[in-house]
Amino acid sequence: MRILVVEDDVDLNRQLVTALTDAGYVADKAFDGEEGHFLGDTEPYDAIVLDIGLPVMDGVSVLEKWRRSGKKTPVLILTARDRWSDKVAGFDAGADDYVTKPFHMEEVLARVRALLRRSAGHATSELTCGPVALDTANAKVTVNGNAIKLTSLEFRLLSYLMHHNGKVVSRTELVEHLYDQDFDRDSNTVEVFVGRLRKKLGVDVLQTIRGMGYCMSEQGNAG
């Protein structure tokens, strides 16, 4: 899952990106509203963390432009504690949730998880597909109740497919959501990681839909 952080405070931006990366996400960063708007407008993010008080273009204006252009990416806004009007303006502009500064990083991570779950139509932090269960809160995966160990990229791959359970996801879409904007992307590597993931899961839930992509399904019958 790929997240954009738009925050002009360099230290806070770094802390947010580090926390998201450590939690298993791919995190891109921007330091002003114009750069943030461009990335959010041109890259396929799963969620965006957006500060309201940004230089060049303020966060509310950025969000309004995204929504006017039809962007539906879930957005978590960051606001100053004593500026309730910022929260109102943010929600009116199309924000999905907010956190007030100063905040605990765990709260931001929990709210991001909730945004991702809701946007994909899931109600709880545990995603399941047959015997496979992925705990988004603790970044753990089990098969038939037994924990399995995945690399960070394998976990991101499984997490994206599990969030989109039952839907066909193309290789191109996976590449766009598994790597940051600076990564030298090659869709052929996805096949390699899918093969490794299948072997580690040991159950037939990850299908290859020829000519289209991949799909998590309890029906099995992978091609």
What per-residue confidence (pLDDT) applies to 187?
Answer: 59
pLDDT of residue 82: 73
Buried b (16+ CB within 10 A) or exposed e, 128-154: bbbebbbebeeeebebeeeebebeebb
* pTM > 0.85: yes or no: no
**Whole-number pLDDT of residue 214:** 94
CATH of domain 2-120: 3.40.50.2300
Q: Are both 2-120 and 126-216 of the same fold? A: no
- Note the pLDDT of residue 176: 87
- What pLDDT score was predicted for residue 185? 59
Domain 126-216, CATH class in plain words? mainly alpha
Stretches where the chain sits below pLDDT 50 are 221-223
> What per-residue confidence (pLDDT) applies to 83?
77
What's the pLDDT score for residue 144? 95
Would you state the pLDDT for residue 182? 64
Structure tokens at 148: 């399995």
Query: What local confidence, expressed as pLDDT, does residue 123 receive?
Result: 77
Half-sphere exposure of 185 (CA within 13 A, CB side): 13
Domains in the chain: boundaries: 2-120, 126-216
